[in-house]
Amino acid sequence: MKVIFKTSYDNDIDLHEDWWDRGKMIALVAVMAVLPFFLGEYYMAEITNTLIWSLAGMGLMLLVGHTGQASLGHAAFLAIGAYTDAALMNVGVPWLVAFPLAGIAAGVFGAIVAIPAVRMSGIYLAIATLALFVIVEEAIIIAEPITGGVGGLFAPSITIAGIDFDRYASLNNFYWLCLAVVVLVTWLYANLMRSPTGRSFLAVRDSEVSARALGINITRTRSLAFGLSCAMTGLAGALMGHFITFFNYELFSVFISINLLLVVTIGGLGFIQGAFFGAILITAVPQLIAILRDGAMSTLGLDLSMPGLDTLVFSVILIGFIIYEPTGLYGRWLKIRFWLELFPLARRDMFRRQKTYLKTERMK
Amino acid sequence: MSLLEVKDLAVHFGGVKAVDGVSFSVEEGEVFSIIGPNGAGKSTIFNLISRFYKPTRGTIKFDGRDITHMSAHEIAPIGIARTFQNIELFDHSTVLDNLLMGRHTHRNTNWLQDMWFLPKVRREEREHRRVVEEVIEFLELEAYREKLIAGLPYGVRKVVEIGRALAMGPKMILLDEPASGLSVEESQEVAYWVEDMRRDMGLTVLMVEHDMSLVNQVSDRVLAVAQGQPLAMGTPAEVQSDPQVKAAYLGTEVYE
């Protein structure tokens, strides 16, 4: 087991506890950066998709995992990001300007919506955000001059300083662009979580009563979390628009919202890493099932191409996770790592969850 | 002038008069205890001062300011910290983070600066940490610094709550039954800490407590309440010998 000898407060303030940890993160980004040299187009497109989903997942993670608010309407913010970005680019705004604006538009919209919404919590908030999603969907159809209505909208290919980032013509460039965005947003998110702002999010999540007693303005904190969450999701939406290239309102269905919620719950609520684990699961498992099915067809001669089977297997996996591993994929990974570090001293009941007792409900 | 002045405070929930016409004032540097049988309205008085409940009648003044109509989150910045009877900690965070959350009122950075983690943010984090370390040393929490609250024993959680309130650097601290559920040794420690808070930190302490030995040991003055109404106020000895207080706790004698 690793023991860190801390010599200054900076050891705790830094993102990584030591150079070994920092090195692992750098190595991961480096490996991700050189992937296009080793993998074919099919895999690169899939990985790009996973990155975009991770970004959207991080957006929802901030809200659900770190501030304890549910949202079933995040597809709406994906849509706002995608449409803002594409519509601005269609009138000639360069991507470098349109992209941040897409995030800001989704964020500002989210923060405004949040002011009344944050008075609700739990299932009520989920329903309110679902209603919001329906409104946004209708608004997209109505605002035809900007959004192309039912017909949809074309996201122009990205060019920065003469370099082409088109999703088809130069997929690798587009992948690197997505990677850069995800790395930057992850870094900002991680910074936020180690700062007073991040702590106030956690405070609001764990005990509203004592958060107020500590001087935390609940409404403002929750609105801020809502806004930041929507901004991140909006950025993901903008990238998703470019990835799909031609989209209409149907791309942002309520199933996207539910999938996003699955990303954060199955990935591991309350961990940034969880968003990545969840995104990998959500994007890779359907592909994996398809590959296995084709394999069964060619080697065993089993025809498993009946409709709905993929979805069934996928759903069983998801339900299994929710029942047997409520802390998510990342939580499971932490347990495995802990077990290995302590080997052979780990005990079976080490992770048995303790019931929180004496929690007062009186002032809620 | 007193630090805290409560005048004719009342709160009614429907027909229940939880607190009805309570007045008292707490001087700076004083340890003031509120005692009373269960359901007397002691915690309700606390919740009124920390603005979780709206008073039906009366005024609360702190440090010369009328705080009767302030929001709950505006109470901490003016220097009132509190603990809760039924521990309200952030269970999924470490002791250190819980104490750092107590420093919220002292933050001078906004979320944009936090996001980019500017040098100013780091400087402030170091300063918060320094203050928190003082609290950790004072309450002897060193061994638990990096433990999650969810895994801590009850007694330690109680202490962390006091620590979180102290990390705020308040003028006055409201302790809601700091010794409830603690062993004799632990409540003795609480008594020492309350004395130290007053003597070394210059804090004013307002305390609700059932443990009479703790109340006797540390309080300058005691207010006894029953059924929302004040019974007696004075030194611990005076209050305990008051016939009305005795009646409230033990019932009245029946003469034949």
pLDDT at site B256:
58
- The distance of B155 to chain A (nearest Cα, Å) reads 13
Print the SS3 string covering A71-105.
CCCHHHHHHHHHHHHHHHHHCCCCHHHHHHHHHHH
Q: Mutation target for B interface from A199, A224, A271, A351: give the one with most B CBs within 10 A.
A: A199
pLDDT at site A312:
84
Placement of tokens 């309570």 in the chain: B22
Q: Mutation target for A interface from B54, B84, B128: give the one with most A CBs within 10 A.
A: B84
Asked if A91 is an interface residue toward chain B (Cβ–Cβ < 8 A), one would say: no
Residue A351 token pair: 């992770």
pLDDT at residue A364 tops 60: no
CB proximity list for A361: less than 8 A, separation 6 or greater: none
Q: How confident is the model at residue A355 (pLDDT cuts 50, 70, 90)?
A: very low
CB proximity list for B175: less than 8 A, separation 6 or greater: B82, B83, B162, B165, B194, B205, B206, B207, B208, B209
Check B88 against A360: CB less than 8 A apart.
Answer: yes
Q: How confident is the model at residue A184 (pLDDT cuts 50, 70, 90)?
A: very high
Four-residue CA torsion sign, A111, A198, A201, A48: positive
What is chain A's mean pLDDT, rounded?
Answer: 88
pLDDT at site A344:
78
Dist. CA B248–CA B250, nearest whole Å: 6
Asked if B173 is an interface residue toward chain A (Cβ–Cβ < 8 A), one would say: no
Listed range (A56-60, A95-99, A116-120, B198-202) with the worst mean pLDDT: A116-120
Question: What digits encode the pLDDT tens for the residues A220-276?
Answer: 999 999 999 999 999 999 999 999 999 988 889 888 998 999 899 889 888 999 999
pLDDT at residue A356 tops 60: no
Q: How confident is the model at residue A353 (pLDDT cuts 50, 70, 90)?
A: low
pLDDT at site B9:
93
pLDDT at site A70:
87
CB proximity list for A117: less than 8 A, separation 6 or greater: A125, A128, A129, A132, A226
Dist. CA B168–CA B192, nearest whole Å: 20
Check A360 against B114: CB less than 8 A apart.
Answer: no
Element containing residue A266 per DSSP (H, E): helix A254-267
Chain A residues with CB inside 8 Å of B114's CB? Answer: 191-192, 195-198
Taking CA–CA distances from A197, the nearest residue in chain B reads B111
- The distance of B141 to chain A (nearest Cα, Å) reads 17
Q: Are A157 and A242 in contact (CB under 8 A)?
A: yes
pLDDT at site A361:
39
Asked if A13 is an interface residue toward chain B (Cβ–Cβ < 8 A), one would say: yes
Instruction: Name the β-bridge partners of A20.
Output: none
- The distance of B237 to chain A (nearest Cα, Å) reads 33
Angstrom CA distances, A256 to A65, A72, A259, A281, B199, stand at 18, 9, 5, 14, 60
Dist. CA A194–CA B114, nearest whole Å: 8
Domains of chain B: 1-79+172-177+203-256 (3.40.50.300), 81-169 (3.40.50.300)
Question: What digits encode the pLDDT tens for the residues B212-238?
Answer: 899 999 999 999 999 889 999 999 999
By Cβ distance, the residue of B72, B125, B150 closest to A356 is B150
Dist. CA B8–CA B57, nearest whole Å: 7
Four-residue CA torsion sign, B163, B165, B168, B170: negative
Asked if A274 is an interface residue toward chain B (Cβ–Cβ < 8 A), one would say: no
What's this model's pTM, rounded to 2 decimal places? Answer: 0.91
pLDDT at site A358:
40
Q: Calculate mean pLDDT across residues B187-194.
A: 93
Interface of B with A in 5-64 (CB under 8 A): 47, 50, 52
Interface of A with B in 28-87 (CB under 8 A): none
pLDDT at site A363:
40
Q: How confident is the model at residue B240 (pLDDT cuts 50, 70, 90)?
A: confident
By Cβ distance, the residue of A200, A216, A360 closest to B84 is A360
pLDDT at site A1:
63
By Cβ distance, the residue of B93, B102, B129 closest to A202 is B93
Asked if A136 is an interface residue toward chain B (Cβ–Cβ < 8 A), one would say: no
The better pLDDT of the pair A121, A348 is held by A121
Asked if A123 is an interface residue toward chain B (Cβ–Cβ < 8 A), one would say: no
Q: Mutation target for A interface from B43, B82, B88: give the one with most A CBs within 10 A.
A: B88
CB pairs under 8 A between A and B: 124
Q: Are B60 and B67 in contact (CB under 8 A)?
A: yes
- Residues B168-190: b if buried by 16+ CB within 10 A, e if exposed: bbbbbbbbbbbbeebeeebbebb
Check B76 against A12: CB less than 8 A apart.
Answer: no
Question: What digits encode the pLDDT tens for the residues B46-102?
Answer: 999 999 999 999 999 999 999 999 999 999 999 999 999 888 999 889 999 999 999
